[in-house]
């Protein structure tokens, strides 16, 4: 099987393609989250309304404690909202699901599995036969440029390499939505830039909806089609920005006037 075949085609060959593969629309209506601790209750999210379109790359940015991770965890089904509605392709989200892949800042690979086995983990759980699994891992090893590390274990990889494998592992499950919580936060500046370019490349190929969290305004602008700025106490949406930059993002886009103007505006908003 050609490494250039899309994952959808790969799955179609084994008769396992969900009919709604191209979807991935999230609707959030009046979402609330209150944490009850011993003697007080704390509102982490208040009245969040947000629609994330199919194939959209949307980033949430905001000060520490404004509820970014809480929101992502609720979308992932790892935490429960205390009010409001949340759907993926019109189906209520009631818990974790394979159609939502997650990548966190911490390296969450299985240390006892090789790079290839980590990538094949989800497809194996789904019962996809060995040969097809091999096709999937070959394809992703190529995309993340780690073919020569297929038999390596996570401890033998750099931080950037581990995050590339984490992204491949999440995508090998053919998710409709990729949820990313500061995935490049622990990487050095140069590796971070390389990872951003790789992620955009993967996103363009896979057509997955991406919900991304970062503290890094440059990263948010470089990657996103839309940026949601949140404020704290209580966590809420302050403003949304369409990123009016060319679809094809190259390194020098950071010098683009529209890039700098948007950065200026977001910095100003966050300072207040
Ligand atoms: N399990 C919990 N119990 C009580 N409070 C919590 C819990 N989890 C989070 N919080 C509180 O909810 C608020 C939002 O936390 P969250 O981790 O979502 O913020 P964040 O914007 O992702 O922050 P950061 O950028 O620092 O990661 C914080 O004030 C935090 O202390």
121-175 pLDDT, tens digit per residue, is 999 999 999 999 999 999 999 988 899 999 999 999 998 899 999 999 999 988 9
74 lines ligand 1 (CB under 6 A): no
**Selected residue with higher pLDDT from 4 and 176:** 176
Q: Is residue 2 part of a domain?
A: no
Q: Can you give the CATH number for the domain in which 265 is found? A: 3.40.50.300
- Rounded to an integer, what distance in angstroms lies between the CA atom of residue 45 and that of residue 243? 25
Among the atoms of ligand 1, which is closest to the Cα of residue 66? 21
Whether 165 maps to a domain, the answer reads yes
**Which tens digit of pLDDT belongs to each residue from 70-117?**
999 999 999 999 999 999 999 999 999 888 999 988 768 999 999 999
Q: What is the pTM of this model?
A: 0.88
Asked whether 90 and 115 are in contact (CB, 8 A), the reply is no
At 200-226, the pLDDT tens digits run 988 988 889 999 999 999 999 999 999
pLDDT attached to residue 3: 39
Closest-lying ligand 1 atom to the alpha carbon of residue 35: 4
Q: Does the C-beta of 69 come closer than 6 Å to ligand 1? A: yes
Structure confidence by residue, pLDDT tens digits, 36-67: 888 889 999 999 999 999 999 999 999 999 99
Residue 70 beta carbon below 6 angstroms from any ligand 1 atom: yes
Structural domain includes residue 170: yes
- The answer to whether position 184 is within a domain reads yes
Element (H, E) at 30: strand 26-37
- Give me the number of domains the chain comprises: 1
Query: Would 83 be classed as within a structural domain?
Result: yes
**Domain assignment of residue 38, yes or no:** yes
Nearest-CA neighbor of 33 among 67, 60, 76, 78? 67
What's the domain range around 154? 7-271
pLDDT at site 250:
87
Q: Identify whether 1 is part of a domain.
A: no
């Amino acid at each position: 099987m050609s490494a250039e075949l899309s994952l959808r085609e790969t799955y179609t060959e084994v008769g396992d393609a969900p009919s709604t593969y191209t979807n991935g629309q999230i609707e959030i209506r009046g979402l609330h989250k209150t944490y009850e601790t011993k003697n007080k209750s704390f509102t982490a999210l208040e009245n969040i309304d947000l629609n994330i379109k199919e194939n959209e790359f949307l980033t949430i940015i905001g000060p520490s404690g404004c509820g970014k991770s809480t929101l992502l965890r609720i979308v992932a089904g790892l935490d429960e909202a205390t009010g409001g509605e949340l759907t993926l392709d019109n189906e209520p989200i009631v818990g974790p699901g394979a159609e939502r892949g997650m990548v966190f800042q911490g390296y969450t690979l299985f240390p006892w599995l090789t790079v290839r086995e980590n990538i094949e983990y989800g497809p194996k759980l789904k019962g996809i036969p060995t040969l097809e699994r091999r096709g999937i891992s070959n394809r992703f090893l190529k995309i993340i440029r780690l073919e020569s590390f297929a038999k390596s274990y996570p401890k033998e990889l750099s931080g950037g390499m581990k995050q590339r494998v984490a992204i491949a592992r999440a995508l090998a499950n053919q998710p409709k939505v990729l949820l990313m919580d500061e995935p490049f936060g622990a990487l050095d500046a140069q590796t971070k830039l390389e990872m951003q370019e790789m992620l955009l490349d993967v996103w363009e190929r896979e057509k997955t909806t991406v919900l991304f969290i970062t503290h890094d305004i440059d990263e948010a602008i470089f990657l996103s089609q839309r940026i949601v700025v949140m404020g704290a106490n209580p966590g809420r949406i302050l403003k949304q920005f369409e990123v009016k930059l060319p679809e094809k993002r190259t390194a020098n886009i950071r010098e683009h006037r529209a890039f700098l103007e948007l950065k200026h505006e977001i910095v100003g908003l966050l300072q207040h």
